[in-house]
Amino acid sequence: PTYADESVGVSFSYPEGWELSKQQFASNGPPLVVAYDPKQPSINAFLSLQPICGDYPTLGSFGNTADVLVNLLPPPGTPGLSSEVIKTENKGSRYLFD
């Protein structure tokens, strides 16, 4: 299956048998979309859309992909949490992380 949000031009595929959860934390904010294995909910993938505030003209204002990644993943050694970055990519004005 694939989750797509055409209003912002993003999509991601997730494994068969996984479930999708979409949470809206602010009425006008972007959603947090999580795909997870219902048999092992601690195994998941998520999509977090973060708008750039007016005082930051570009995503590059936050640094390169490595700088931004620090804010997306738990610090190494966080008890009970782990993560893996497969690939990072600069694509025009967007940073992509797998």
Specify whether the CB–CB gap between 23 and 35 falls below 8 A: no
Q: Measured between alpha carbons, how far is 85 from 98 in angstroms, rounded to an integer?
A: 6
Q: What pTM does this model have?
A: 0.53
Per-residue pLDDT of the chain (98 residues; tens, 9 = 90+): 999 988 878 888 999 999 998 887 667 767 788 899 999 888 888 877 766 666 666 666 777 778 777 767 767 777 766 778 888 888 777 788 88
Residue 18 has a pLDDT of: 94
Residue 56 has a pLDDT of: 62
For residue 55, what are the CA distances in angstroms to 27, 58, 89?
22, 9, 24
Residue 26 has a pLDDT of: 66
**Paired strand residues for 21:** 34
